[in-house]
Amino acid sequence: MENWRRQGLICLLLCAGISIVWGTWITRNGCAWIDFRTVYAGARCLVHHHNPYNAGEVEREYLSEGGQRPKTTHLTLQCVTLQVNLPATYVLVAPFAALSWGPAHILWMLLTGVVFVSAILLAWDAGASSAPLAATVLSCMLALNCQIIFTQGNTAGIVVGLCGIAVWCLLKNRCVWVGVLCLAFSLAVKPHDTGLVWLYFLLAGGVHRKRALQSAAITAAIGLSSVLWVSHVAPHWMQDLNANLSTISAPGGVNDPGPNGVITREPVLYSIVDLQTVISVFRDDPHFYNSVSYLLCGGLFLVWSIVILRSRFSVSNAWLALGAVVPLTLLINYHRLWDAKLVMLVIPACCLLWAERGPAGKAAIAITSISVLLTGEISLVTLQTVLGFFHVNGEGLVARLFTILSIRPASIALLATGVFYLCIYMRRNPGRRERMLHNQPEREPIRASS
């Protein structure tokens, strides 16, 4: 076991190093950290007492620190100037905004690398305790497929990393206050990434509910202070934020999940992974694809919540519950490829099932591997290159399915993963009342084999 873990750690660090070097090299050859440049410019606006949600003021800050004026389409201009981040984001970025662009983006890259790679290592550690080989393979697949984290500089790299660290700390009951703080910061910056993970700890009850409430209190303090800061500088920031959201979400906009959105032109760089991107292929109507997505994911989420409330807590149950809810987190509303790295939290659940050496373990390995691969840049580029040799014309069912397979496969993989782990979680936790009626003892938690 120790030999496997040592070799696995070396392989994982090597794969992460390749992604960091590769991502940095891509950045030096034309990709100018556009996402971090955007939040950096917004934070500098706020530091200099300007409105971070005003496109003109953001563009001036962006150009003043060496940013190049977009020369391609209005969509690139939207990415640069239209701020849609929550005010708490500027609390995180403000220390970097106090520096010039050179040291600021280097320190941001270092922080992103440390936090994100640490989260992968901890997810690997949680899985390796029961199935070291499976944990190593899955974690290396993920670590080797995350160049976009180190090319765009999106805050998701830090947020997802903080979430992963928080889950490990809280479930392992080690460095608990580090976990509480990490969960609070990730929740404040990107609640749509971390919200359902936080909700699991709230519903789990006991000491975990206490930790969730502590994180919520810290998040509220961060959010309130950031809102007061932004409101003092820009009293009408809420209207400007809503206007920016409406612009980028309009048909043809940078966040449009429909067939006319930017995803069809840059399917990897701008890949949206929520379920709306699949449903919109059949009917490009926001009211339709949003309603269907909310209904489907909401139903699965309701079942998940009921099972948690009716089952007792164990670490094994916790990983299975997270394995079910992480895909739902990514499917229910707007998420992109960098947010999808949250699938690292599915790896421990997969390893627990694989350690049992049964049919469920084999299915878990297959489904989880597909999700990890189809949320990775190398895998998507390879798939789209292969499918590029085939041409399916028309508007029929075959053509629509081919479109989903070619530029939206991650959403289908995530849906299958969420449904699979939810079914396993339900089967392992049929409910206390039924067990009492049949005079059956509580099911023992899954025991990890060495």
pLDDT value, residue 439: 45
Cα angle at 326 between 21 and 336, to 5 degrees?
Answer: 50
pLDDT in tens, 50-71: 888 888 888 888 777 665 555 5
> Closest Cα to residue 381, out of 372, 373, 393, 371?
373
C-alpha R_g of the chain: 22
Torsion of CA 138, 144, 148, 149, to 10 degrees: 70
Mean pLDDT, rounded, for 355-374: 92
Q: Residue 30 — pLDDT band, cuts 50, 70, 90?
A: low
pLDDT value, residue 383: 78
At residue 328, does pLDDT exceed 50? yes
Q: What percent of the chain is predicted at pLDDT more than 90? A: 44
At residue 224, does pLDDT exceed 90? yes
At residue 161, does pLDDT exceed 70? yes
pLDDT value, residue 302: 95
Mean pLDDT, rounded, for 254-266: 64
pLDDT value, residue 437: 37
Mean pLDDT, rounded, for 402-410: 79
Higher-scoring residue by pLDDT: 190, 2: 190
As given in the structure block, the two tokens for residue 349 are 């659940």
Contact criterion met (CB below 8 Å) for 448 and 130: yes
pLDDT value, residue 240: 86
Mean pLDDT, rounded, for 117-142: 92
Best mean pLDDT range from 51-60, 71-80, 160-169 = 160-169
HSE (CB half, 13 Å, CA atoms) of 431? 9
pLDDT value, residue 2: 67
pLDDT value, residue 432: 47
Q: What percent of the chain is predicted at pLDDT more than 70? A: 86
What is the average pLDDT score of the chain?
Answer: 84
Question: Measuring CA to CA, how many Å separate 193 from each of 161, 212, 333, 398?
Answer: 11, 15, 10, 33
Best mean pLDDT range from 22-26, 69-73, 84-88, 266-270 = 84-88
Q: Residue 179 — pLDDT band, cuts 50, 70, 90?
A: very high
Residue type, 317: N
Helix (H, G, I), strand (E, B) or coil at 131: coil
pLDDT in tens, 226-236: 999 999 988 88
Contact criterion met (CB below 8 Å) for 40 and 65: yes
At residue 441, does pLDDT exceed 70? no
* Domain segments of the chain as ranges: 2-437
pLDDT value, residue 434: 47
Q: Residue 329 — pLDDT band, cuts 50, 70, 90?
A: very high
Best mean pLDDT range from 9-23, 58-72, 79-93, 311-325 = 311-325
pTM for this model (two decimals): 0.88
Mean pLDDT, rounded, for 139-150: 89
Best mean pLDDT range from 108-112, 252-256, 429-433 = 108-112
Q: Residue 270 — pLDDT band, cuts 50, 70, 90?
A: low
Mean pLDDT, rounded, for 431-448: 44
200 vs 212: CA distance, rounded Å: 9
List the beta strands (DSSP E) in 268-413. Answer: none
At residue 433, does pLDDT exceed 90? no
Best mean pLDDT range from 73-77, 85-89, 254-258, 436-440 = 85-89
Best mean pLDDT range from 66-75, 319-328, 406-415 = 319-328
Q: Residue 14 — pLDDT band, cuts 50, 70, 90?
A: very high
HSE (CB half, 13 Å, CA atoms) of 419? 9
Q: Residue 247 — pLDDT band, cuts 50, 70, 90?
A: confident
Helix (H, G, I), strand (E, B) or coil at 272: strand
pLDDT in tens, 281-300: 888 888 898 899 999 999 99
pLDDT in tens, 343-359: 999 999 999 999 988 89
